[in-house]
């Protein structure tokens, strides 16, 4: 038969081509999915490409759109908890797409097994987080504006290449600019220096419509002297002291933890980790092995949101309130960990794969550090009568990443202890956000110096606060949990307390979401407990985990302020909600340019019952930063955090079996 002479009807040909395309997609999917060994595995590079291709091929995909997000759409919790190794599992990608031309935002879901879009809808009235492409084009847009150029010339700056533009999410949006996609452009005199933050060009802020590539306004509040070029951080500029003697960490037999894909096991702990582009390093399916059984503690633990409100009421400062998770994405802004400085020499450094604005995958090298470290004494008793000593040295496992959001650097550490304790440690460093002032010497705290401290000649650092909110999906021995609060007080004088030494601890059930909105109380040593009412240890206690607060702060911005309406999670240190897969971010999914009211305040409005339910704890950690000159030009690290410790989860010290 002469095949060249055979004519195929166009409809049949179309079906044949589609069939071949589906076959190729199916074969590609099989190859890709072979790399994902667990339902919670992060998207691989090939899966990101596949999701982007499927979306770009959809008829509703806008021309010249940007991908704000392409991440794993996490499967149902029940599917994950019931998963058996080797069993098939669903695999979907969730994407947020920005149509810059028409200022629309879309959410979509791609079924990676089928290679097709299964959900597409517009998310109306919202703006996704700031994207890399916008940081790149913002300087050129701002510098091309005649008003900005005039402001620079007024300050004697004619070489605009010497100016560094720093992009900020807009914060509060003035009437008349609603509905636009906005960024603010701050200016610094960089010159040949590295630390341009040390030389703010104070008073000049440009407001830019990013979808129209247009400067809407330039605020110039007046000329302020620019600090001298003496704010450098490098060793050549600072000089160096005599170095300490070498300090070596060696593990001749290798690391004490095992990594299997994204699963880690160490000293009876078993858990998974993910480097998420928005939330950064998060933990999943955390459990502790006890007498041969793996007991669940946490299903998912992550940094849900951050907000950094500044306390300077100046017109060019009052809007500054960075939502570092929801406006910028702490995972995307992670920096590569430098061996032997950012992490000790025994650290295992792991890459992360993210999706870029163009939908293409890229690798962030050395995104996560995992290492063991000495933990001091674990437990000890010296028996005076016999002279016998029993003591154990502690080992800790640290998972860490470091995000740089503009001037600030944040290292977030999840620390596992051998006695069942899980600790969260946030380490803050970087450069305080500076404000240019005319003063070169400190004066009595009056006028504008009430809202900041002079840290260098012509440089003031305004007072501000940092608030972190952690989402902690507890599953203590299962998903049926309750929330209790513990308060300790002195027993009042009376017949039951004749020597006035009595003290009691009262434990109260927080049975609804409204009752579970709580503040810290130093007077009562307040802490919160996640209890399994149906599980008991050998002594009869209900098994539980206790959230033990560390240092904390109250917010100073007014409850009716726009910042606080947008960051309602800072109204309480402790919240608890009934589990919902759609409730992941304490200030809502899209805090960028939001009007407020989303997130925790909205979710608890229905006041769901929490007793014997699948509960989620939200802990707000606050820091009030009153700057010091000793923190300039770069801050020594400040550590803050909290702990989750077993409370009746075991019947005795679980670290008794740690060898000498």
Give the CATH number, domain containing residue 455.
Answer: 2.70.98.20
Active site residue 408: yes
Same domain membership, residue 316 and residue 297: yes
Asked whether residue 82 falls in the same domain as residue 170, the answer is no
Q: Are residues 214 and 332 in the same domain?
A: no
Q: Choose one of 122, 148, 181: the last residue of a domain.
A: 122
| Active-site pick, 145, 166, 324, 598 | 324
Total domains present in the chain: 3
State the burial class of residue 612 (Cβ atoms within 10 Å of its Cβ: 0-12, 13-18, 19+): middle
pLDDT for 36 equals 83
Q: Give the DSSP per-residue string, 23-50.
A: HHHHHHHHHHHTT--STTPPPPHHHHHH
35 has a pLDDT exceeding 80: no
- Are 309 and 203 members of one domain? no
Length of the chain measured in residues: 660
CB 389 within 8 A of CB 382: yes
Residue range 280-305, pLDDT digits in tens: 999 999 999 999 999 999 999 999 99
The predicted pLDDT at position 448 comes to 53
Quick one: which of 255, 270, 289 has its CA closest to 369? 255
Look up residue 240 and give its DSSP letter: -
Residue 397: alpha-carbon gap to chain centroid = 20
pLDDT at 519 over 90: yes
**CA 361 → CA 66, 221, 355, 584, distances in Å?**
14, 43, 4, 24
Distances (CA, A) of 233 to 164, 190, 247, 534: 17, 14, 24, 56
pLDDT tens-digit profile of 61-77?
Answer: 999 999 999 999 999 99
The residue ranking higher by pLDDT, 176 or 338, is 338
Contact 354, 361 (CB under 8 A): yes
> Do the Cβ atoms of 429 and 409 come closer than 8 Å?
yes
Please indicate, yes or no, if residue 243 is contained in any of the structural domains. Answer: no
pLDDT at 354 over 70: yes
How far is 11 from 6, CA to CA, in rounded Å? Answer: 15
Give the residue from 95, 122, 149 where a domain finishes: 122
Sheet order of strands, 92-99 included: 66-72, 92-99, 104-111, 116-122
Q: What is the pLDDT of residues 242-284, one digit of tens each?
A: 999 999 999 999 999 999 999 999 999 999 999 999 999 999 9
Q: What's the confidence (pLDDT) of residue 27? A: 38
pLDDT over 70 (residue 2):
no
139 DSSP 8-state letter: H
pLDDT greater than 60 at residue 17: no
pLDDT, position 444: 62
Same domain, 403 and 476: yes
pLDDT for position 193 = 85
User: Given 310, 408, 545, 590, which residue is catalytic?
Assistant: 408
At 23, the pLDDT band (50, 70, 90 cuts) reads very low
The residues pairing with 401 across neighbouring beta strands, listed in sequence order, are 412
Whether 357 and 444 share a structural domain? yes
Q: State yes or no: pLDDT of 31 exceeds 50.
A: no
Answer whether residue 120 shows pLDDT above 60. yes
* Confidence grade of residue 224 (pLDDT, cut at 50, 70, 90): very high
Rounded CA-CA distance 186/220 in Å is 11
Predicted pLDDT at 173: 83
- Residues 77, 204 share a domain: no
Q: In this predicted structure, what is the pLDDT of residue 9?
A: 40
Residues 159 and 287 in one domain: no
For the full predicted model, state whether its pTM sits above 0.85: yes
Would 190 be classed as within a structural domain?
Answer: yes
Q: Is residue 252 part of a domain?
A: no
Predicted pLDDT of residue 445: 54
Report phi then psi at 611, rounded to 5: -75, 125
pLDDT at 440: 93
C-alpha distances in Å from residue 242, one per residue of 236, 239, 246, 342, 361? 14, 10, 12, 21, 44
3-state secondary structure 557-619: CCCCCHHHHHCHHHHCCEEEEECCCCCCCCCCCCCCCCCCCCCHHHHHHHCCECCCECEEEEE
User: What local confidence, expressed as pLDDT, does residue 446 receive?
Assistant: 56
- 228 and 298: one domain? no
Q: Does the pLDDT value for residue 127 go beyond 90?
A: yes
Mean pLDDT, the chain, as a whole number?
Answer: 93
What range does the domain containing 181 cover?
132-238
**253 falls within a domain:** no
Q: What confidence tens digit (pLDDT) does each residue in 441-494 have?
A: 987 655 557 899 999 999 999 999 999 999 999 999 999 999 999 999 999 999
Q: Which residue has the tokens 């593990």?
A: 251
- DSSP-based three-state secondary structure for 124: coil
pLDDT digits (tens, 9 = 90+) for 151-175: 999 999 999 999 999 999 998 888 8
Say whether 477 is catalytic.
no
In this predicted structure, the answer to whether residue 551 has a pLDDT above a threshold of 90 is yes
Same domain, 343 and 198: no
Between CA 354 and CA 643 the distance in angstroms is 30
Decide if pLDDT at 84 tops 50: yes
Domain final position from 238, 272, 293: 238
Instruction: Note whether residue 421 is domain-resident.
Output: yes
Q: Which helix (H) or strand (E) holds 303?
A: strand 293-309
> What's the confidence (pLDDT) of residue 178?
86
Residue 130 has pLDDT above 50, yes or no: yes
pLDDT, average across residues 219-227: 96
With a pLDDT cut of 90, the percent of the chain lying above it is: 89
341, 467: one domain: yes
Provide the pLDDT confidence category of residue 19 given band limits of 50, 70 and 90.
Answer: very low
Q: Tokens for 592, please give them.
A: 């960028």
CATH number where 111 lies: 3.10.450.40
Confidence band for 116, pLDDT divided at 50, 70 and 90: very high
pLDDT above 50: residue 208:
yes
Q: What is the pLDDT of residue 26?
A: 40
Of the chain, the percentage scoring pLDDT greater than 70 comes to 94
Q: Is residue 584 part of a domain?
A: yes
Spatial neighbors of 562 by CB under 8 A, at least 6 apart, are 172, 595, 596
Q: Is residue 449, in this structure, part of any structural domain at all? A: yes
- Is residue 254, in this structure, part of any structural domain at all? no
pLDDT surpassing 90 at residue 25: no
Residues 173 and 309 in one domain: no
């Amino acid at each position: 038969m002469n095949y060249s002479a055979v004519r195929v009807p166009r409809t049949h040909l179309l079906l044949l081509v589609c069939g071949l395309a589906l076959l190729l997609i199916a074969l590609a999917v099989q190859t890709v999915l072979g790399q994902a060994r667990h339902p919670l595995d992060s998207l691989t590079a090939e899966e990101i490409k596949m999701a982007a291709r499927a979306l770009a091929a959809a008829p509703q995909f806008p021309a010249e759109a940007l991908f704000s997000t392409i991440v794993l759409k996490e499967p149902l919790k029940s599917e994950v908890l019931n998963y058996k190794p080797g069993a098939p599992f669903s695999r979907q990608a969730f994407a947020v797409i920005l149509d810059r031309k028409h200022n629309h935002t879309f959410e979509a879901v791609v079924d990676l097994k089928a290679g097709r879009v299964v959900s597409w809808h517009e998310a109306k009235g919202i703006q996704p987080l700031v994207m890399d492409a916008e940081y790149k084009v913002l300087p050129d847009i701002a510098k091309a504006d005649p008003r900005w150029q005039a402001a620079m010339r007024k300050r004697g700056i004619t070489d605009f290449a010497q100016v560094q533009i720093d992009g900020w999410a807009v914060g509060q949006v003035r009437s008349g600019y609603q509905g636009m996609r906005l960024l603010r452009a701050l200016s610094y005199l960089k010159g040949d220096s590295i630390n341009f933050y040390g030389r703010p060009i104070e008073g000049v802020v440009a407001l830019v419509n990013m979808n129209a590539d247009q400067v809407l306004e330039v605020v110039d509040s007046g000329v302020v002297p620019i600090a001298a070029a003496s704010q450098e951080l490098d060793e050549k500029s600072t000089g160096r002291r005599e170095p300490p003697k070498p300090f070596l960490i060696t593990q001749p037999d290798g690391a004490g933890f095992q990594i299997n894909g994204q699963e880690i096991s160490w000293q009876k702990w078993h858990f998974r980790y993910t480097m998420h582009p928005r939330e950064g390093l998060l933990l999943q399916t955390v459990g502790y092995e006890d007498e041969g059984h793996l007991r669940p503690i946490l299903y998912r633990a992550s940094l849900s949101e951050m907000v950094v409100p500044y306390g300077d009421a100046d017109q060019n400062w009052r809007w500054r309130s960075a939502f570092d998770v929801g406006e910028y994405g702490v995972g995307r802004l992670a920096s590569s960990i430098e061996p032997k400085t950012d992490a000790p020499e025994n650290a295992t450094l792991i890459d992360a794969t993210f999706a870029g604005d163009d939908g293409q995958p890229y690798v962030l090298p050395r995104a996560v550090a995992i290492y063991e470290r000495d933990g001091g004494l674990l437990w000890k008793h010296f028996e005076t009568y016999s002279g016998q000593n029993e003591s154990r040295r502690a080992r800790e496992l640290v998972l860490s990443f470091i995000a740089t959001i503009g001037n600030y650097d944040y290292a977030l550490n999840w620390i596992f202890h051998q006695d069942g304790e899980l600790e969260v440690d946030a380490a803050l460093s970087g450069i305080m956000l500076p404000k240019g002032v005319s003063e070169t010497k400190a004066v009595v705290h009056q006028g504008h110096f009430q809202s900041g401290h002079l840290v260098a000649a012509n440089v003031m650092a305004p007072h501000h606060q940092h608030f972190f909110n952690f989402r902690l999906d507890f599953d203590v021995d299962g998903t049926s949990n309750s929330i209790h609060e513990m308060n300790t007080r002195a027993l009042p004088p009376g017949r039951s307390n004749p020597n006035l030494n009595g003290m009691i601890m009262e434990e109260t059930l927080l049975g609804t979401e409204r009752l579970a909105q709580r503040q810290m109380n130093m007077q009562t040593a307040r802490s919160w407990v996640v209890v399994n009412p149906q599980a008991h240890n050998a002594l009869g206690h209900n098994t539980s985990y206790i959230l033990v607060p560390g240092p904390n702060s109250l917010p100073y911005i007014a409850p009716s302020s726009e910042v606080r309406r947008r960051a309602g999670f800072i109204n309480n240190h402790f919240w608890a909600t009934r589990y919902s897969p759609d409730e992941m971010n304490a200030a809502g999914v899209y805090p960028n340019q939001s009007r407020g009211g989303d997130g925790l305040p909205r979710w608890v409005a229905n006041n769901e019952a929490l007793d014997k339910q699948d509960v989620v704890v939200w802990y707000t950690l606050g820091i009030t930063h009153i700057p010091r000159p000793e923190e300039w030009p770069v801050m020594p690290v400040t550590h803050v955090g909290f702990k989750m410790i077993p409370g009746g989860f075991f019947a005795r010290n679980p670290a008794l079996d740690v060898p000498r």
